[in-house]
Structure 1
Amino acid sequence: MSEIGPCDWCEEVLQPYLDRELSATEVAEVEHHLAACRWCEKRFKFETDLRRLVRQAVIEPMDAALKAKLAALRLEL
């Protein structure tokens, strides 16, 4: 870890961790911190839940009425 506190460091590397961009050593450090820090564990859960919801939203079909409204707005520009 760097000179900053462990929670600040964990916050900085959380997205790269979720994207699987960290080294094995960094992954171990993040996982160790998440196991010991309830606040960072909650932050991690929030981020993973948010990513799951975004993925679900992308695959759900858009309502036809909403599509028509959006298309009408696009034509007005």
Structure 2
Amino acid sequence: MFYVYVNKRKQRVLITRERIADPSWRLAGVHRSADSAKRHARFIADARDYVLEWDILASASASSTPRGGGSRRRQEG
């Protein structure tokens, strides 16, 4: 799950996989995919002119397998 939080005092939007207990961060949405969390967070950040930050997107994108089965090598023999 991907969580989108908003901090009005710091004027920031955060995308994370962790639940945040800090009361200054308000939960704005929960998403199953990183793409939908990004769209939601960007919408909020653009509408309010807030900074968008994340701690999961680089690792989530890097771990996805490219189309076509990844990096398999053909064995010749």
- Fold match (TM-score > 0.5): no
The TM-score, its normalising length taken from structure 1, stands at 0.34
Q: Which of structures 1 and 2 has the larger relative contact order (alpha carbons within 8 angstroms, sep 6+)?
A: 2
The TM-score, its normalising length taken from structure 2, stands at 0.34
